[in-house]
Structure 1
Amino acid sequence: MSSTLITNARMVNEGRTFDGDLRIENGRIAQIGDGLATRAGEEVVDAAGRWLLPGMIDDQVHFREPGLTHKGDVATESAAAVAGGLTSFMDMPNTNPPTLNAQALQAKYDAAAGRAWGNYGFYMGASNDNLEHIQTLDPKTAPGIKVFMGASTGNMLVDNPETLDAIFRDAPTPIITHCEDTPMIDANAKAFAEKYGDALGAEQHPDIRSREACLKSSLLATSLAKKHGTRLHVLHISTADELALFEKGPLIRADGSRKQITAETCIHFLRFDRGDYARLGNLIKCNPAIKEASDRQALTAALVEDVIDVLATDHAPHTWEEKQKPYPQAPSGLPLVQYALVAALELVHEGKLRIEQVVQKFAHAPAQLFDVEQRGFLREGCFADLVLVEDIPFTVKREDILSKCAWSPFEGMTFRSRIASTWVNGQQVWNGRELVGQPAGRRLTFDR
């Protein structure tokens, strides 16, 4: 029987912070208490008052496999994730080929087995012509169905109104949406290209992918969800304007019921704003776009007020060379998983969030929203996905980056907390300096 005892920890779980010990046995949390006695042969880790958190569950990543593995793959990006305290991830379907049927979905699970450092789930994608595959999807096989209601790659922009209505009517899992209005964006892009010519740059990105385009599409998604009673989760909210579409209050209400329509924002919308384009340019070009400082402030407040339910990354790596292209050709997306948790904890140091709120948005809420079984909490019987955090400053350096693309928008920034250790299914996989052991990730299961 393998056993590890973590002593003298400052644990954060379900709105509480408390001191105590935690025992891991056979991959699960066996005991939580105070003054737990050491057993013969047991590994003992003295947390020495450091934070012990449930492993973070990232509900939105693009690990680029299959078909785009020069940018990243399940092995490299999950390694970066566990180094950052993210122990479970849900990967997007806009790969090559796209994940549009049960066979493609199973192929991704097969490819991740034995290679993923964290636990893994894969979304089914929607297109204008795969409605039958959505209708017959086994809801236990995917966290949700991803609908690109804005621009995407390949055949994954759903712009047929009848198909869109049917997807919301028949989806057997939660629907997650990327909400930007493509015709509005296309018109903006044409107008700005005519105005700026070769001078068009990343500074214009938030005007091309405008707040109006976000609001129009989010309004359509929430309207369809209300019409059909669909469980809808709107990804990467980037504007203050969209916040009025969402209910204020906890994800799980006092009577035990759950919000029908939920919202997510991402760490880059809380750490960057329009003023950063002059310094970082295409490195922070993403869809939807990073916008104003006022949006950044409003999104942070919305997390505090429980208008936004989930904090995620939208980790989407591209090579350095791709990002050096002129703005119109440079791809959108940035690598984030390795430094997302410490970036969120910076908001705690700044007094803008409480650490209990970070844990709620990054761990508890994704587990609750997607019905993830036995993860996302410090509870006896749950899988031992754990993160030990210490308040020791460090500066992000390129040589420390584990993502295949080997760069980060956070390079040169100093964070006041660092990840001291990460456990996945009870196995230590990060010791604060390097990966240890072997990939320990398992397929996520969903209680549906």
Structure 2
Amino acid sequence: MAELTGAEPTSAELAVTAERLVTPAGVRAGTVLIADGRVLAVLDPGAVPPPGVPAVDAGDRYVLPGLIDSHVHFRTPGLTHKEDWEHGSRAAAAGGVTTVLDMPNTSPPTLTADEARAKAELIAGRSLVDHRFHIGADPARPEALAELDPAVATSAKIFMAGHHTAPTVFRDPAQLEKAFIAAAQGGVQLVLHAEDGELFALLDEWWGAPGSYADYEARRPRSGGISAVAKVIELVRRHGTKAHILHLSSREEADLVCAARAAGLPVSFEVTGHHLSFTDADTRRLGARTRLSPSIRQQSDQDRLWQALVAGEADTIGSDHAPHTIEEKTRTVQQSPPGLPGVQELAVAVWTGMRRRLPDEHPDVAVARLVRHLSTRPAELFGLRGKGRLAPGADADLVFFAPDDTWMLSARDVRSKCGWSAYEGWTMTGRVVRTLRRGEVVWDADTGTFGSYEGRWIQ
């Protein structure tokens, strides 16, 4: 039986048939009817689409709901020498990502509703993907979060530690608490870079800043994250604020957040593709390419993050797509900025890791996990209506995914403006073959072509 939105099937504009549609009810064969950019119906196997409707057969490729990367830095405005929205959205579409949530640490930073609207105007006509913004929490005006217009943003980024592109850092505990109080009053979801900058400064005064990548992880230790996460949990306990810890990097942090959630606190966390893919041994080998903040940690930490993903303890997977130029990344250890491009590589890198770690797991189970953490859950967490599911009434954001294709990633594949990837030379399992945004093909891997730059600001 077909699931319908209430519209007539004869109004369909496109039919996508596949043996493996990834729906909220599970993986099933069928046909997706699309009209006016939305899923009109999901037909059972054998059902015939209305006559005259253009049809596409995905065969035995998985058809996923469009992926959501809730943590990108597309560098617009002001930092477009290293990335811009056109290139960032190309990388996203080529990676199966149809919706992104962009961070506020641009130049100028996105701290007010007017700055968010100005940013949206800059992006209009330049994006292959739909987008939403995390507003920046301002230490000088933390009380503003209580009156944040949900049409502009429903989430706010807090930096608890500074780095090269963090213009607003909460260093005063009283101001940080005010931000938690105001966010609770305004129903705002906080997203946090939870590291203790003061702790790092204290350690640097004692032993000096990192001088080589051989000791980089040890000089930006796990204690910084553990201390900050503990502070966040205490503030959540006091004020009931919704808090989402970004790029969680250590086993102790994972345990703390899981314990807090078990105690009923509204706290969640993200794992990144790079923390699932690399260890500190890679940083010693690759140097600046995997210099991150928080740093890439040890094998036991990576194992714990994978455990959190498989067990469903982690909520989202983010890329923390933060490109820099090769020139910037080849400066001295102290001057090289943290960050790497990752939105294009995110889904295939995580899929590759899942297939290697759990080779006997049924691919339907693995792909459902990928969809939960890269589509369904971020849509729920950040209130992205119409996103995150392949179901009638949802936006017709679809990804054709070939789970068994193997290929080697090279710099020629990189769509980000920076032109490099930390994954160069990796043999990947899984390939994004085609990406549809609201029914339009915006990436076709077979032809290497993109669609129209008509991605929308989600309000």
* Paired position in structure 1 for 2:445: 432
Partner of 1:222: 233
What SS class does the counterpart of residue 289 from structure 1 fall into? coil
Q: Cα distance, 1:407 vs. partner?
A: 0.2
State the match for 1:344 in structure 2: 350
Q: Secondary structure at the match of 2:415?
A: coil
Question: What's the counterpart of residue 178 of structure 1?
Answer: 193
Which residue of 288, 291, 301 maps to 1:285? 291
Q: CA deviation at 1:259?
A: 6.8
Of 17-26 and 148-157, the range deviating more from structure 2: 148-157
Is 2:384 aligned against 1:401? no
> Is 1:6 matched with 2:19?
no
Corresponding residue to 1:301 among 300, 303, 307: 307
Instruction: Give the aligned CA root-mean-square deviation in angstroms.
Output: 2.0
Does residue 327 (structure 1) correspond to residue 325 (structure 2)? The answer is: no
Indicate the residue corresponding to 2:316 in structure 1. 310
Q: 1:114 aligns with which of 122, 125, 143?
A: 125
Whether the 8 Å CA contact 2:124–2:454 is kept in 1: the answer is: no
In 2, Cα distance between the equivalents of 1:307 and 1:154?
Answer: 28
Question: Which residue, 83, 102, 105 being the options, matches 2:113?
Answer: 102
Name the SS of the counterpart of 1:325 in structure 2. Answer: coil
Q: Does 1:357 align with 2:369?
A: yes
Please identify, of 41-50 and 266-275, the stretch whose mean Cα deviation from structure 2 is larger: 41-50
Distance, in Å, in 2 between the alignment partners of 1:168 and 1:420 is 42
CA distance in 2, matches of 1:386, 1:407: 27
CA contact (8 A) 1:102 1:133 kept: no
Query: 2:428 aligned with 1:422, yes or no?
Result: no
The CA distance in 2 between the partners of 1:293 and 1:127, in whole Å, is 36
Classify the secondary structure of the residue corresponding to 2:168.
Answer: coil
Letter of the 1:286 counterpart: L
Q: Number of paired residues?
A: 435
The CA distance in 1 between the partners of 2:14 and 2:87, in whole Å, is 27
Identical amino acids, percent of aligned pairs: 34
Alignment correspondent of 2:279? 273
Q: 1:124 corresponds to which residue?
A: 135
> For the residues of structure 2 that align with 1:189 and 1:36, how far apart are their CA atoms?
66
Instruction: Tell me whether 1:392 sits opposite 2:405 in the alignment.
Output: yes
Q: CA deviation at 1:130?
A: 2.1
Shift of 1:392: 1.4
* Corresponding residue of 1:208: 219
Q: TM-score, normalised by structure 2?
A: 0.91
Q: CA deviation at 1:155?
A: 3.9
Opposite residue 441 of structure 1, the aligned amino acid is G
Equivalents in 1 of 2:411, 2:47: separation in Å?
A: 41
**Residue of structure 1 in register with 2:4 after alignment:** none
- Distance in structure 2 (CA, Å) of the matches to 1:4 and 1:32: 12
Superposed displacement of residue 132, structure 1: 4.2
Unaligned runs of 5+ in 1: none
CA spacing shift, 1:315–1:154, aligned 2, 3 Å: closer
Could you say what secondary structure the match of 1:128 adopts? Answer: coil
Taking structure 1 as reference, are residues 394 and 223 closer, same or farther at Cα in structure 2, changes over 3 Å only? Answer: same
Deviates more, 1:37-46 or 1:171-180: 37-46
Task: Give the conservation status (yes or no) of the 8 Å contact 1:427–1:440.
Answer: no
SS of residue in 2 equivalent to 1:20:
strand
What is the CA–CA distance in structure 1 between the aligned matches of 2:114 and 2:30, rounded to whole Å? 46
- Indicate the residue corresponding to 1:16 in structure 2: 26
**Structure 1 position 278, deviation (Å):** 2.9
- Contact 1:429 1:440 survives alignment (8 Å): no
Partner of 1:244: 255
The change in CA–CA distance for 1:181 and 1:246 in structure 2 (over 3 A counts) is same
Distance 2:47 2:296 in 1: 47
Q: Residue 62 of structure 1 aligns with which residue?
A: 73
Task: String of CA shifts for 1:373-418, please: whole Å, max 9, x gaps.
Answer: 0101011010011110012111111112110000000111111211
- Describe the superposition over 1:185-222 as per-residue Cα deviations: whole angstroms up to 9, x where unpaired: 1233344437x7xxx21232211221000000011011
- 1:383 aligns with 395
User: Which of 17, 33, 48 pairs up with 1:37?
Assistant: 48
Contact 1:238-1:291 at 8 Å conserved across structures: yes
Distance in 2 separating the partners of 1:15 and 1:284: 38
CA contact (8 A) 2:280 2:297 kept: yes
Shift of 1:301: 0.2
Q: Distance in 1 between matches of 2:282 and 2:139?
A: 37
**Secondary structure of the structure 1 residue equivalent to 2:115:** helix
| TM-score for both structures, normalised by structure 1 | 0.93
CA distance in 2, matches of 1:96, 1:157: 15
CA drift of 1:235 comes to 0.6
1:136-155 matches, within 5 Å, as 136-152=147-163, 153=165, 155=167
CA distance in 2, matches of 1:37, 1:83: 31
- Secondary structure in 1 matching 2:214: helix
Q: What is the one-letter code of the residue matched to 2:74?
A: F
